[in-house]
Structure formats: structure tokens, C-alpha cells
A and B are shown apart, each in its own frame.
Chain A
């Protein structure tokens, strides 16, 4: 099976712009979660989508949003970029459902640099 894919792998934007990142989960996985990784804050949860609905949301401002399509692919959008948004954005897919025991499999990430 192909793994989780994320596009693009690298992005450079300037403050005030917006950006859209894409994630394609493992075939058959219905849950997609997004995490932000920075040297200072570590790995922080952004949100989770399951069956095109946002199921959980982390403690991030409303500039961070996402969506999921009927084929389980997901996008996240960051509007009005700030320097502090520079990070590695990781997408993870899992089977989903209500269990807490399923494994999340991560993509390679998108490295966003805000200038």
C-alpha cells in the first residue's frame, strides 16, 4: 500500500499570504489528522477529520482551517500567514472509527517557511 502523501513538500510564503497544504491518506483510511512541528513547541495537534467532518480541534487560531473530501483526501489552509507559522506540517491517517487504539501513520510533511 502506498503511504501517506503530502504536497507540496516545501513552501516559501511571505507574511500576510495564505497557503493550502494537501494530504492523501493511506487507501482505506478515513481519518486524517494534522499536526504542526516546531523546534520551540514540538508536535502540536491542529485538527482531525473523519468522514468529511471535523471531529477534533486543537488550540490554534481560526486562521488555521481544514477540510476533507469524500475520497478522504484532506487540505489545510492557513490565512494571513505570520512568521511564527513557519513549521513542518504533518498529516497522519488512520482507519478512524471511535477507537483510541488505532495507529496514526504520518506523511513526510510540508515544510512551510514564512518570510
Chain B
């Protein structure tokens, strides 16, 4: 079965430190991978996506993600975390040959401590 997983429900990091939010996927075709962020009582906000090409994708607000085909991962990173980055982060995927809907991971709550 095709799926996406976020192995950590909660990630805590100190302000100014680098952050990583993990995402792995299981797919039978080529994956198209997305990261979204959700602030309390808000919808999902698009951060970045990987379609093809360069494995390092840069997105909004200083976030980037690295696609690793051999490890089937697409981890979200930021060199220096801000308190305002505290939110719920979702990884999502579509697969070549699949329908168009996004399949979401379970979400990771990121808390940046001042």
C-alpha cells in the first residue's frame, strides 16, 4: 500500500538551533512530495514541494527539504529555528499513476523553545 509516515508526533528544538521534521514514504511509482504547515485554527499553508530534479528543495520562510530516493525520505529542515515556527507540520504525497488527491502523514507538532 502507498503511504506516507511522519515518525515523530512531537519535535522540540531551541530557538536558533537547526530543526528537522522527518517524513518517509512508501510508493510504487514516482512520488510528488509536499510540505504544509498549520497554525492553530487555520488551514494548511503550502511550504514547498518536490517534483523532479534537484534533491534539495527550497521553500517559504527559510524552509528546505531534501529528497532521498534510496531512503524514501523527504525531511523538512531549517538552519535556524524561530519561536514563530512552532506549528503542526504535514508531509503529503501523490504518486505517479495515482489519483490526484493528497495523502497526508499524521503530522508533527514542532515546538521552538525560546
Contact = CB atoms under 8 A, between A and B. Distances in A.
Nearest to B92: A43
Interface residues of A, number: 24
Interface stretch (B15-23, B62-70, B96-104): B96-104
B34 A90 contact: no
A42 B101 contact: no
A104 interface: yes
Interface of B: 32, 34, 36, 41-46, 49, 51, 90, 92, 94-96, 98-107
A108 B45 CA distance: 9
Given A42-B106, A100-B94, A101-B51, A90 B100 contact: no
Contacts, number: 59
A58 B99 CA distance: 10
Contact of A56 (B32, B95, B101): B101
State the main secondary structure of chain A at its contact with B. strand
Contact of A106 (B41, B45, B94): B45
Interface of A: 4, 6, 31, 33, 35, 42-43, 45, 48, 55-56, 58, 90, 92, 100-101, 103-109, 111
Given A100-B96, A101-B32, A45 B101 contact: yes
